[in-house]
Structure 1
């Protein structure tokens, strides 16, 4: 009897131990070693990220959906994001109304060459402020910070007068020349990014190059600038997007002839009203019939920057980390 009772107690204790271990394993899987390692935390995080992603993607989905809707689907409140039939004529109207390929070439000229010039000039200026010693360096850096803090609306009238006297209005020179001089779109911010990057590099690289007889310009172009590839990519992408989307500066300096896509979008309504292929109805709301071509035009404008970002997103993320913008 005693042996059987002892065996029974041992069996009960073993079952309790096994169940306790299973409970601990399930608890570890659910909560993790740390709280953020478990299934529960991952599920909550995934849910939050899904909601945030939907909030960002929803306007683009609405834009695409509206651009594919017919007049009947636009008027019918029952139709949601999915139209009854795909209406691709809105994109054809948007291409005609925007004069898309001409405006695309103008926008690409400003965004691409402006970004490249700005990368070169801001990298050179940032390196000088980080590594070189010259009189008034702190004053120059202070003035760069001032240009970053002053709103562009304050300096737009003096710039307009200067560009008018130089004969640069309605030409890409109003953006390319300032970019070459390091004061293009958000130029001060890019100078600060390069300055901080070059300050983080070891001085032993420059000392070794100087011992080998490298000149200052060779030191910059052969050693320091290749090391700043991540910073160059970040500055290029930021600059490209800002040049592509700019409207206020373009409306002041490029009011006719050389007009980018942002200005053509503002004038799309007039272009569409002159297009007899589009049937307008003034009796239904606030001109809902034109919403299809407008949304199609907006999607055609944001599509090139989206493609550029999807191609370069991995290197862009690495560049953000290496330049310290996330700190």
Structure 2
């Protein structure tokens, strides 16, 4: 009997404790009013984001760490991420091996001018598909979707033959002319982005402008294009990054007369280290002597896009939210 009474008394005390105000506050703090606003949920989300961020940053950390290591640090297996001594000569070798100023200007011409032309042409095309009425509009949009779905490697050989007959090979015109007509790097995707943006705009703006006597071109350049500044920024940044990082297309269309950074990196080891480095790499399986300069050269290539993104990060995020684009 005493044991049963003690058990009931214990259950009563536990029930009173669980229903007390302090316990409810602690439970609300840990679990939250909803599922995702409690302390436990925030800790789980923070842990997941930390793991994901580490997975994304790990290659960059390895690149920066290796680019600052000397030959003894590269050979020594006991040296981890932090090198014993900072070896800046790797960046000097990377600068010289890439011929950085010349290759940088070549890449900048393709990426910047191509992106500007692509924003202009894709905006006009997207506006026409969204707002104007003309015969075959749905057919044109279907063809754009088809070009978006077809892998670009399939069209490289026909494009090479066309550019060869036109005399455009080994010059940046092989990228700038298609960008002028909305057929640049991922041009179909950018046309779809602009089309969806212009479809979301109210028709009252166009009706009011047409009542005031505005033509189609004036309506586009004075009203619709300024409203699409967020979409223009998103398209420009994506186009700039893709032009900057492309390798396969320049390797097909460009030669030693006009070489961007991506092609310079591929031939960097041979030009900088010579045949001795290749023989050493073949014999050993991995060349620790050229690993540092190669990582330094790779880091020099990705620095400009990182700077551009860091400067335009806030507007880029706002642009994605306003265009409704999810990547």
Q: TM-score, normalised by structure 2?
A: 0.92
Superposed, 1:207-226 pairs within 5 Å as 207-226=207-226
For residues 264 and 326 of structure 1, what CA distance do their matches in structure 2 show? 33
- Alpha-carbon distance, 1:279 to partner: 12
Tell me the residue number matched to 2:310: 310
* 5+ residue gaps, structure 1: 1-12
Distance change >3 Å, CA 316–CA 228, structure 1 → 2: same
Query: 2:83 aligns to what?
Result: 83
1:17 to 1:151, Cα distance in 2 relative to 1, 3 A: closer
Correspondence 1:176-325 to 2 at 5 A: 176-274=176-274, 284-325=284-325
Query: What is the alpha-carbon distance in structure 2 between the residues aligned to residue 326 and residue 161 of structure 1?
Result: 36
Instruction: State the alpha-carbon separation in 2 of the partners of residues 259 and 184 from structure 1.
Output: 19
1:173-210 deviations in whole A, cap 9, x for unaligned?
00000000000000000000000100111100000001
Distance 1:17 1:213, change over 3 A: same
Give CA-to-partner distance per residue, 1:101-124, whole Å, 9 cap, x none: 100000000000000000000000
2:36 alignment partner, SS class: helix
Distance 2:169 2:284 in 1: 41
Matched with 1:7 is none
Query: Offset of 1:272 from its aligned partner?
Result: 1.3
Quote the offset at 1:287 in angstroms: 1.4
Query: Which position in structure 1 is the counterpart of 2:93?
Result: 93
Question: Which residue of structure 1 aligns with residue 174 of structure 2?
Answer: 174
* Alpha-carbon distance between aligned partners in 2 of 1:97 and 1:71, rounded to the nearest angstrom: 18
Range 117-126 or range 253-262, more displaced = 253-262
- Could you tell me the TM-score, scaled by structure 1's length? 0.92
Look up the match of 1:136. Answer: 136
Give yes or no for contact 1:280–1:289 (8 Å, CA) kept in 2: no
In the alignment, is the contact (CA less than 8 A) between 2:163 and 2:174 conserved in 1?
yes
CA distance in 2: counterparts of 1:211 and 1:34, whole angstroms: 51
Instruction: Give the Cα separation in 1 of the matches to 2:239 and 2:313.
Output: 15
Q: Does the 8 A contact of 2:32 with 2:39 survive in 1?
A: yes
For the aligned residue pairs, the C-alpha RMSD in angstroms reads 2.0
Q: Quick one: distance in 2 between partners of 1:160 and 1:281?
A: 37
Q: For the residues of structure 2 that align with 1:297 and 1:73, how far apart are their CA atoms?
A: 18
Distance 1:18 1:118 in 2: 64
How far has the Cα of 1:270 moved from its partner?
A: 1.1
2:145 aligns with: 145
Instruction: Return 280-289 or 67-76, whichever deviates more.
Output: 280-289
Match of 1:112 in 2: 112
CA distance in 1, matches of 2:79, 2:222: 60
1:256 CA drift (Å):
1.9
**Does residue 1:49 correspond to 2:22, yes or no?**
no
Shift of residue 233, structure 1, vs aligned partner: 0.5
Distance, in Å, in 2 between the alignment partners of 1:281 and 1:81 is 24
SS in 1 for 2:69: coil
